[in-house]
Chains A and B, each alone.
Chain A
Amino acid sequence: MAPQPKKKLSEQSVIHDLAKHQSAIAEALFASIGEGALVTDAQGKISKMNKIALNILGFKGDEVLGKWYPGTVIAEDEKGNVIPNIERPITEVFLKGKPVFRKIFYLKKNGQRVPVALTASPIMLKGKPVGAIEVFRDITEEVELDNSKDEFISIASHQLRTPATIVKQYLGMILEGYSGKLTPAQTEMLRIAYENNEHQIDTINDLLKVAQADANKLSLVREQTDLVALLQEIIREQKRKYIQKDLGLDFVHTKAEVLALVDPLHLRMVFDNLLDNAYKYSHGGKKVTVELIDSAQAATIKVKDQGVGIDAKDMNKLFQKFSRIANPLSFVGGTGLGLYWAQKLVDLHNGTLAAQSVVGKGTTFIIKIPLGLQVP
């Protein structure tokens, strides 16, 4: 009988020490993670806040611990409007039952706004929520970098494009004889200058478009669009140059109308790009076929040419920036950004763009776009 109580005590003591050990690890982890962290309890009060969080928000520990969280740390949106409590990430966690990620602004103790990226998650104990944890970091530098990118895009669009456009105008006027008759040699030189300037303008425009897309500044303006009508219009516009090169251009579709919620302006750029490529990389006497196939959820558009084709080893470079793949017709002009841009635009539509090719036989580009008619 005597040994038993001692054994029980020792078990209790082991369990107690283990619990203390685990608690010490948790405390150390909480204190040393590289981002701000805070914990709220079942009453929405701040039960823990680490040093980084206190520094970001400009508080001292005793100013926040035990205080009601939404009233202590005020959240604002981009426009400076206070975010209602029901829309705050930490509340959303209990509405969604899962982690929530958001970028918002917090008001520091001194009233200054600080942009943060945060993740909020419920704390669960034996399947029951007992509080929430929020981990956040100060993203001021990232926001400033974004703003710098915007500035660059704005400056570049004026300072690079404007002089090039002016040069184009004046070269054009000289070539049309506005400054007097030109010798054949002068005409030839000016024509080369004009074409290269055009190429420069195209490059600037492409670079600016891509910079905008990379900075996630590009947004779609979706509207209900008939893809059949859109493709018919694009093909009609491209047909003249195709005929001049003795290239066939056919459009195959089974339905008279296929409606989709897309940005017609940007989708047009995708199709124009693919048809331009098919034109450039096909010899005369060949044919390009555009095929539209629709299902209940998505439309598939194939642009199939009988052109020079792409080597299998180059396929992985096809959609990369500044990628120019060597082929018999690679003397034709281009910025190497067209397909990168096209893929970005298709991605924005939550679609896919892929290619299949055989050297000497031709290439097929396949775009799949969700019809998106049920807007969430």
Chain B
Amino acid sequence: MPKSLKIYDQAVRISEEYLGPAGERFLRRQISTHLGIEPESISEKDMYKLVDWASLAFALLTSDPREVESFTNNLLLLSTKQKAQRLHGTAA
């Protein structure tokens, strides 16, 4: 399975954890609109820009700032995890 698809799948899982079934659609809109790429092709370098927009949109969906922080951090972690896997040759 391509690395980039893995990132997308993981991002969808995180999004759905916080937003339920609407999570994937939320994520796909963010990626298409702000990154201008096919959602499945998202890579580690795209995560920061994605989070810039997704966190502000998410902040209007929940009044709990800790939830927003948690959502943001979990998405950003995907980028660092992926980078670490690549560097240490442990990526699938």
Contacts and interface: CB of A to CB of B under 8 A. Distances in A.
Interface of A: 40, 42-44, 68-71, 85-86, 88, 90-91, 94-97, 122, 128-129, 131-132
Contact of B33 (A42, A68, A70, A96): A96
Interface string B56-89: 1101110101001000000000000000000000
B60 A95 contact: no
13 contacts: A42-B55, A42-B56, A43-B59, A70-B61, A85-B61, A91-B60, A91-B61, A95-B26, A95-B29, A95-B33, A129-B52, A131-B56, A132-B56
Interface of B: 22, 26, 29-30, 33-34, 52-57, 59-61, 63, 65, 68
Contacts of A70: 60-61, 63
Would you call the interface of chain B mostly helix, strand, loop, or mixed?
Answer: helix
Contacts of B55: 42
Contacts of A86: 22, 26, 61
A97 to B, nearest CB: 5
A84 to B, nearest CB: 9
A128 B30 CA distance: 14
Contacts of A42: 55-56, 59
A376 to B, nearest CB: 16
Interface of A is mostly: mixed
A215 to B, nearest CB: 34
A129 B59 CA distance: 13
Given A95-B33, A128-B52, A90 B59 contact: no
B33 A97 contact: yes
Contacts of A85: 60-61
A91 B68 contact: no
B63 A71 contact: yes
A90 B60 contact: yes
Nearest to A95: B29
Give the 7 A-B residue pairs with the shortest CB-CB distance, closest first: A94-B57, A44-B59, A68-B63, A44-B60, A91-B60, A97-B33, A94-B56
A243 B54 CA distance: 68
Contacts of A132: 56
Contacts of A69: 60
